[in-house]
Amino acid sequence: MATTEWAHTTVMLKEAVEALDVRAEATYVDTTFGRGGHAKRILEKLSPQGKLIVFDKDPQAIAAAQAMHDPRIEIRHQGFAALSQLPQSSVAGVLMDLGVSSPQIDNPERGFSFRQDGPLDMRMDTSQGPSVFDWLGVASSDQIAQVIREYGEERFAKGIAKAIVAQREAGQLPATTLAMAELVASIVKTREQGHNPATRTFQAFRIFINRELEELEQALDASLRVLQPGGRLVVISFHSLEDRIVKQFIAKHAREVYDRRAPFAMPVDLALRALGRQRPTDQEVSANPRSRSAIMRIAQRLPLGELA
């Protein structure tokens, strides 16, 4: 049976790798390998003594990494929260590209897209855990509404959840992406210009079923431990929930914190220096519309005492 090669255009490729400030013999981490766009550019800058550790939940992404046959790559079929397993102060840079890759979106069998029909799945790692369809088969209306409201910021969350449960009770729970998109559209009567009415609901289901925000928080905390002094943290976000977490994390660790109850105590040491943020150029957005919402934030690890 023939397989289709789904194309992927890496967002902010040049800018992200430049932000890492790659040193030829150092060790770097790409926490979301995807189809290897950033990884390949990093490898171009590494000497034979350099090393790149790549993480990804997606078995297809792992297969793509293995196909590179590069001895400088260490491949880990894990979510990026597993960054915490690396030794303390062992890497010179951590890159997190939080976007869903085009092969995941465009391949209808993965169940991410409401533009093509496929199973209502949305798992990054298709080898484990429940699909969105499995979860919707057992979740309560309140649970579904909470997920859609919190992770999709959808104001029609309650109505969508009630419609899903009503369909389930009638033995007609949507099992495919187009069927779910049609159900959502029947409830969402107003929509943002240029956006499908199912956009927010599909985002919410994907984030929830893959525990994306929890993993992001864990990976950010782990980056403080594994980065060497002077090492760079580069994070590309694609929606406000992710970017808010990244922004607040960097701000929290890039300012002195005083204990107001002990005004003469020394402030907590700074862990990071914020190095700013960037957006894609107009030229990139024109060539790759999926990059339009990207925000890249950069920080540098400062020396600090031993972390537990």
Per residue in 58-96, pLDDT tens?
Answer: 888 899 999 999 999 999 999 999 999 999 999 999 999
pLDDT of res. 255: 75
Instruction: Give mean pLDDT, residues 102-109.
Output: 64
Residues comprising the chain, all counted: 308
Domain boundaries, the chain: 13-102+212-301, 126-209
- Structure confidence at residue 100 as a pLDDT band (50, 70, 90): confident
Q: What is the mean pLDDT of the chain?
A: 89
Per residue in 296-306, pLDDT tens?
Answer: 999 999 986 44
pLDDT of res. 3: 41
Helix runs in 230-281, H state only? 240-253
The helix or strand, by DSSP H or E, that contains position 23, with its residue range, turns out to be none
Most confident among 116-120, 171-175, 270-274 (mean pLDDT): 171-175
In this structure, whether the domain defined by 13-102+212-301 belongs to CATH 3.50.50.60 is answered with no
**CATH architecture observed for domain 126-209:** Orthogonal Bundle (1.10)
Per residue in 124-142, pLDDT tens?
Answer: 888 889 999 999 999 999 9
Q: What angle (nearest 5°) sits at the alpha carbon of residue 169, between those of residues 166 and 174?
A: 70
| Residue 251: CA count within 13 A, CB half-sphere | 7
Helix (H/G/I), strand (E/B), else coil: 244: helix
Residue 263 amino acid letter: P
- Cβ count near 6 (within 10 Å): 15
For 14, 63, 222, the CA distances from 77, given in Å and listed in that order, are 26, 10, 17
Per residue in 191-237, pLDDT tens?
Answer: 777 678 999 999 999 999 999 999 999 999 999 999 999 999 999 99
Answer whether residue 268 shows pLDDT above 60. Answer: no
Answer whether residue 308 shows pLDDT above 50. Answer: no
| Residue 179: CA count within 13 A, CB half-sphere | 14
Q: What is the rounded distance in angstroms from the CA atom of residue 279 to the CA atom of residue 287? A: 14
Percent residues over pLDDT 70 in the chain: 87
